[in-house]
Structure 1
Amino acid sequence: MKTEGKRNLLRQPDEIRLMTGSAQTEQETAPDAAAFRAGDVTVEFAEADGSLAVFVQAQNTPVRELVLTWKAMFGGAGEVLGDTWERGYGDLEWKKEADHIGMPWYFFRHEAGKCLAFGVKVRPSAMCWWEKDGADVKLHLDVRCGTYGVKLGGRKLEAARVVMASYVLEEADTPVEVFEACRAFCSEMCDDPDCRDTVIYGGNNWYYAYGKSSAREILGDSAYLAEMTEGIENRPFMVMDDGWQIDHSDSYNGGPWRVGNADYGDMGELAAQMRAKNVRPGIWFRPLYDHSADIPAEWRLERNAEVFDISVPEVLEHIAQDIRQLGDWGYELIKHDFSTYDIFGCWGFEMGTRLTNGSWRFHDHTKTTAELIVRFYEVIHEAAKREDRQDVLILGCNCIGHLGAGLMQGNRTGDDTSGVEWERTRKMGINTLAFRMLQQGTFYGADADCVGITEHIDWNKNRQWMEVLAESGTPFFVSVKPGFLNESQKEELKEAYRKASQPHPAAVPLDWMETKTPEKWQTYAGRREYNF
């Protein structure tokens, strides 16, 4: 890729469509039009620092969505790669030329000699998705509060900052050049990632225990991880996953989060014992799901009475106190999970362009869904900062990465791998690693999930997954029951941990434009070819 070959494609949209609580208004704009008015709603544009800020202001009219159209952005044949709302589900891929809708946050179009990129800066105040319509490009800015139009009350909302670029590729026009262009654009969208110089690696007990564990077993996991990483100065995290909370059962995995159950005992003492084993304690929790009877009714989400409403200030303070409690116990990494599902009532692959089902809104009608989610992530990020010792690291899971970039050191960027079924790991893990590698170090540490080592999965398959993951530069977690591996397998695991404990440049999936599950990789250690 020619470093001098980047060209800014940004210009004012050719058409604007506004959808409010009661009407739909369309207007074709002049190329230099800086504003559009319909009733008491004003849409304005301002160019700065290579981006186009989109502002919406309304006094009384509830605003639902803006659709901006740029005409004739393409020429010739090409292929398209879009992002997803939250995690990947084994469905990320370059698609042959066709019209595509519902591409959240950003997308790329590769055509002969160049890569075109369209996106919005991270942490916008709208849920943003792109539509490719022939040669035209449309950006949908969903500013609803739940399923209702937001009531701005005269407030001027910066909905998003749009960025567009064309990257000139060298004559070879290789998949590596396209990859580099896409990563460069991710850096354009996020100029403040909070993951610099952060290496996240270690163990997680989920994929062999699946919630059936105890303090005794966690300490056994910690001792085993310490043995596998003996001599490594950068000590690993041992992350205690779901199952420690007092109300845990086969049918419930929510809070409260202020005390462990009888199998775990004193959670602060457990963290100290883990640290004595020479590992860094980590812990999982689900911040928005709590059926406790003492939770006030006004804290509950209209859509689901067991879920917190993140627009309520007292709810955010409650979550901040949870984070501070986990940190005070001594846990150095906190993995927060399920929040996208809890807010929207569906998984990312189910959200489509409607995002959620039913008719509901947050308690605060004056904020957009995107604004509220960003604030939720900000509260977690702020609560993890420590005055008396090193900040607690935040690892998101089932989070909206584009809204959380800069507010978490790591993010689980794909759906679960498996300790039972290799095909699930192949589908979810490898696809995620390849296609969300664009976000590694540019947004956060892009965690493609664990190597689940059990008797159910062929070691020869798992060791390949373990090697590419350890050499990828991304967060690296292994879920293995102590005593399961033989001596030669333990040596391979030790070597994987040694690699993962050090910072490395992002690995490149060399055949990512040909398949969903790349088998040809370029890592810091050289070229790798696998048989997944």
Structure 2
Amino acid sequence: MEMGVPEVTPDAVYVVTDRPRAARRCGDGRWEAPGCVVSVDSGRVAVSGDDLSFVALRWRRRIPDDTLVLGDAWERSYGELQWRHPQPERTLPWYWLATSGGRTWGMGVRTRPGAMCSWTVAGDGVTLWLDVRSGGQPVFLGDRELAAATMVAVDGAARPYAMLEELCAAMSPDPLLPREPVVGCNNWYYAYGEGFGREAVVRDARTIAEFADGHQVLPYCVVDDGWTHHFGPWDSGFFDMAETAGEIKAAGARPGLWFRPLSQPETVAEDIARFRSWGYELIKHDFSSYDLFGRYAAHAPATLATGDTVFPDRSRTSAEHVVELYRTIAEAAGDALVIGCNTIGHLAAGLVHVQRTGDDTSGRQWERTRRMGVNTLAFRLPQHGRLFVVDADCVPCTPATEWSLNRQFLDLVARTGTALFVSVDPAARTDAADGDLSRAVRLALDGGQDVEPLDWLTTTAPRRWRCGGQTLTYDWSQPWGAWPLPV
């Protein structure tokens, strides 16, 4: 049977304790294995039992040999997002999309599921893998039933990009979106946490206000890492944070602040309340995936948790623990804008306004910006406005990187209407660069345009983009091409 979107009822269910075991079907949408019950009803997957690690739902179908398949990433992407021919063991976190012969179809799970959900797609079928562990250990659910996931699907003849937009909308029924475009400056990519103080922050605020040139939407000035010790405590900075917030406002920008919440997890809500009392209107929280799971999820490993990942409460899954943290931050932030960085997008959707969707760009090496920024912008742009506002990371303007390349990335990000943050080293400012920055900032503050990558089926760094009513081609290459070594 040729592959399309499977019926929501799988052909088989497997339960993993120490190894996969086939569950016995015992009624409509119900499977049982020793100590475990799995039910599937209108796409909703519920699991009960103890000593559980994974549940696998299997659909046996054939897909055409020329099919291309796309998946997502566990947290930030690392330049690896790509359409590929089916690779049976390739982990596709959260959703998958396939295209062949003018038809595109795929499946995903709704945001904030109770399990860490991923898919594998091969020539003989599809499997949904539900990681229900608590960290790296089996979960003990006790008497409760876990709402592990709710599946959604798309199938149609529209172009793949439009089908992914449709799938993202179906997965995310309650996004938390800001009222206005998100635009601003961030000092990380020229200061890198060193050698900046209150005066430099206020100077940055004046610079971004100058680029905005009186626009009715005020830009943000984000104080990134370096305002205090990297690991907290977050109760003071190397300069007076409340007075600095006031000076940012006086300069014509809105104050924003970076912090690392799991440096002191017991004080997360108190820390955010303190930031708000100082006058900060944007809270960027970072490093939580790394601090929770002990690693970054580059190139989509099969699971984010390792055997060393431990949560104190074994009755709740990793996904439930992560959502609880994000909810705590969102509630403490009140009406402040929340940006998640190194956060798990599918679990953060609805609890962050803005999601950093890719690994760091760079004010030191263009190749990082090309590899990380362009890739995440192209392949996660369909999530923009559906799961959250996408943030492909900062556009640097520094002496160490070529402005002829950075200005193209600046132009593209501004046109998409995604979050635009610039990191401008005063030493790199010229009349030409200032003109480029001002035009881009104002375009982004206006909300951007309707943008779509046109050659994303054949490359990881699309060059051809439909922007409004025109097609633009960007040249991302340095004279020697792409740098092949790690960055």
Q: TM-score band, normalised by the shorter chain?
A: over 0.9
One-letter identity of the residue aligned with 1:153:
G
Whole-Å Cα distance in 1 between the matches of residues 306 and 29 of structure 2?
A: 35
Moved over 4 A (4+): none
The count of corresponding residues between Structure 1 and Structure 2 is 472
Match of 1:95 among 84, 92, 96: 84
Kindly indicate whether residue 252 of structure 2 is the aligned counterpart of residue 255 of structure 1. Answer: no
Kindly indicate whether residue 28 of structure 2 is the aligned counterpart of residue 54 of structure 1. Answer: no
Whole-Å Cα distance in 2 between the matches of residues 108 and 8 of structure 1?
A: 10
Distance 1:196 1:204, change over 3 A: closer
Residue deviations 1:295-341, cap 9 Å, x none? xxxxxxxxxxxxx4xxxxxx3xx211111111111111111000001
Alignment of 1:35-434 (within 5 A): 35-47=30-42, 52-58=43-49, 61-72=50-61, 74-169=63-158, 177-195=159-177, 197-212=179-194, 213-245=196-228, 248=229, 253-261=230-238, 264=239, 266-290=240-264, 308=265, 315=266, 318-349=267-298, 352-385=301-334, 391-434=335-378
Query: Is this contact kept in 2: 1:10–1:163, CA < 8 A?
Result: no
Whole-Å Cα distance in 1 between the matches of residues 331 and 350 of structure 2?
A: 12
The TM-score with structure 2 as length reference comes to 0.93
Residue deviations 1:88-128, cap 9 Å, x none? 11111111244343111001111112111111111001001
More deviation, 453-462/519-528: 519-528
Kindly indicate whether residue 22 of structure 2 is the aligned counterpart of residue 26 of structure 1. Answer: yes
> 1:446 corresponds to which residue?
390
Query: Is this contact kept in 1: 2:294–2:309, CA < 8 A?
Result: no
Whole-Å Cα distance in 2 between the matches of residues 275 and 53 of structure 1?
A: 47
Secondary structure of 1:282 counterpart:
strand
Structure 1, unmatched stretches of 5+, are: 1-6, 170-176, 291-307, 309-314, 386-390
More deviation, 35-44/64-73: 35-44
Secondary structure of 1:227 counterpart:
helix
One-letter identity of the residue aligned with 1:111:
S
One-letter identity of the residue aligned with 1:223:
R
Whole-Å Cα distance in 2 between the matches of residues 242 and 506 of structure 1?
A: 33
The TM-score with structure 1 as length reference comes to 0.86
Query: Is this contact kept in 1: 2:154–2:163, CA < 8 A?
Result: no
Distance 1:506 1:145, change over 3 A: farther
One-letter identity of the residue aligned with 2:217:
N
Whole-Å Cα distance in 1 between the matches of residues 408 and 457 of structure 2?
A: 21
Query: Is this contact kept in 1: 2:77–2:358, CA < 8 A?
Result: yes
Whole-Å Cα distance in 1 between the matches of residues 461 and 411 of structure 2?
A: 15
More deviation, 348-357/329-338: 348-357
Query: Is this contact kept in 2: 1:10–1:165, CA < 8 A?
Result: no
Residue deviations 1:58-110, cap 9 Å, x none? 2xx31111011011153452101111101111111111244343111001111
One-letter identity of the residue aligned with 2:289:
T
Residue deviations 1:487-519, cap 9 Å, x none? 122112111111010123552011111111111
More deviation, 67-76/485-494: 67-76
Whole-Å Cα distance in 1 between the matches of residues 286 and 37 of structure 2?
A: 37
What is the percent sequence identity of the aligned residues? 39
Query: Is this contact kept in 2: 1:220–1:482, CA < 8 A?
Result: no
Whole-Å Cα distance in 2 between the matches of residues 163 and 361 of structure 1?
A: 31
Query: Is this contact kept in 2: 1:384–1:394, CA < 8 A?
Result: yes
Secondary structure of 1:144 counterpart:
coil
Alignment of 1:449-460 (within 5 A): 449-460=393-404
Q: Give the CA deviation at 1:23.
A: 5.7
Distance 1:233 1:144, change over 3 A: same
Query: Is this contact kept in 2: 1:14–1:29, CA < 8 A?
Result: no
Whole-Å Cα distance in 2 between the matches of residues 499 and 62 of structure 1?
A: 54
Residue deviations 1:262-286, cap 9 Å, x none? xx2x211110111011100011000
One-letter identity of the residue aligned with 1:55:
A
Query: Is this contact kept in 2: 1:437–1:506, CA < 8 A?
Result: no
Whole-Å Cα distance in 2 between the matches of residues 394 and 438 of structure 1?
A: 20
Structure 2, unmatched stretches of 5+, are: 477-487
Residue deviations 1:241-269, cap 9 Å, x none? 00011xx2xxxx211111112xx2x2111
Residue deviations 1:452-473, cap 9 Å, x none? 1111111111111111111111
Distance 1:156 1:76, change over 3 A: same
Whole-Å Cα distance in 1 between the matches of residues 126 and 28 of structure 2?
A: 18
Residue deviations 1:6-37, cap 9 Å, x none? x96432111111012x564213648x732112
CA RMSD of aligned residues (A): 1.7
